[in-house]
Amino acid sequence: MRMVVISFIILLLMIGIWAWFYYASVDPITTYFWDSLTELTDVIRDEDWETAKKDIALHTDKWYEAKKLWVFFINQKDIDNIDSSIRQLNIYIENKEKVLAQAELEHLIVLFYIIDENECLTIENIF
Amino acid sequence: MIVAIRAVILYAILLIAMRVMGKGDLGELQPFDLVVSLVLAELAVMPMEDLDAPLVHGIMATAVIMFLQCFISYISLKSNSARKIICGTPSIIFDHGRFNVKDMNKLRINMNDILGQMRLKGYYTFEDIDYLIMETNGDVSIVAPESKTGKRVKRIPIAAILDGKIMHNNLEKFNISKEQLEDSLKKEKLHYKDVLYGFFDENNKFVFYKR
């Protein structure tokens, strides 16, 4: 009986860590990026490059902060994809490439959407 | 280098998991033990090889398997019905010159398998043995006449009480009445719940071991 209890506590601990990670980090951060990147789409559409530069710098910092925790739980490939996409977006905004920046922004939104979808507890994910 | 560090971490986790699951699971290989061994091996290899996969995924899956293993072991220890479902029951394949063909077909074993098992245990003819029993872990037990006296074993001991629970199926199978068991318990001033293992020997004498 003691071992059943110990293994159950370990299991609960692991589920607790996962739940904390999802609800305290993945969910709020992906929501933040959806909202802020959608706002950035409007800024790029209006070709307000100074605001776009400030915004993307802020979002990049936010991403690097979140990444410190995410590397322990999320597949490294997904993290590398976001890293690469943010880097490209920075370059497009610096060079005032409107179309490329818009396309990369959409790509980045989709990448965050995929992470949230993959980590969420749904029937589709189970099967 | 990263692979080596991850291998050390996973090895430590698997070692802890195996220790938590207990010695019994290492010694005997019941059907669910085999499943656990295969799954754990696979779980350990995947995060070791795939550097993109976080270690937490492997640890989480190991924690789930460890809990299920402990839980199933506990249930099968406490409940006879659960034990029957999870581990199955031993089958008497050969009983004093008679083969149980029905059970042989059910277990999908043929005469070659039986003869091979007999040879491995040092018996070469059915005349030398009284019982051949297929155990739940796939091993074969042979009950043979005592080597010193050459006395034949009339009947294998019939387990009447296991872990404080009456084995009604066994009593029925070997024509032992419940009254006979109750009388035996009364004589010893015992309640069946106090008996860890009680059986009727070949002379129908009730032998028991208290908890």
Please name the residue ranges forming H helices in chain B: 2-21, 23-27, 31-49, 55-78, 80-87, 101-107, 111-120, 168-173, 178-187
Predicted confidence at residue B1, as pLDDT, reads: 65
Q: Show Cβ contacts of residue B174 under 8 Å, excluding neighbours closer than 6 positions.
A: B155, B158, B200
Closest CA to B128 of B114, B112, B113, B142: B142
Do B36 and B108 sit in the same domain of this protein?
Answer: no
Residue A3 contacts B, CB cutoff 8 Å? yes
Q: At residue A53, what is the residue type?
A: K
Residues B24 and B53 in one domain: yes
Q: pLDDT tens digits for A54-113? A: 999 999 999 999 999 998 888 889 999 999 999 999 999 999 888 999 999 999 999 999
Q: Domains, chain A, ranges and CATH?
A: 25-126 (1.20.120.290)
Q: How many helices (H) and strands (E) does chain A have?
A: 6, 0
Number of folded domains that form chain B: 3
Please name every residue paired with B162 in a beta bridge, in sequence order, or none if there are none.
B165, B197
Q: Is residue B36 located within the same domain as residue B49? A: yes
Q: Which residues of chain A have a CB within 8 Å of the CB of B53?
A: 75-76
* CATH number of the CATH domain containing B185: 3.30.240.20
Residue B208 vs residue B146, higher pLDDT: B208
Signed CA dihedral, B101, B105, B111, B115: sign only: negative
Return the SS3 of B161.
strand
Between A63 and B155, the higher pLDDT residue: A63
Interface predicted TM-score of the whole assembly (ipTM), two decimals: 0.76
Contact A7 B71 (CB under 8 A): yes
Segments forming the whole domain that contains residue B116: 89-143
pLDDT tens, residue by residue, B5-26: 776 777 777 777 777 766 554 4
Q: How far apart are the first and last CA of chain B?
A: 53
Handedness of CA B26, B32, B34, B39 (dihedral sign): negative
Q: B8 and B81: one domain?
A: yes
The partner residue sitting opposite A75, judged by closest CB among B20, B21, B54, is B54
Same domain, B96 and B79: no
| Segment B52-87, tens digit of pLDDT | 888 888 888 888 888 888 888 888 888 888 888 877
Last residue of a domain, one of B52, B85, B118: B85
Task: Identify whether residues B134 and B59 lie together within a single domain.
Answer: no
Identify all chain B residues contacting A4, using CB atoms and an 8 Å cutoff: 67, 70-71, 74
pLDDT of residue B23: 53
List CB contacts of B145: < 8 A, sequence separation 6 or more.
B128, B130, B151, B152, B153
Look up the pTM and report it.
0.66
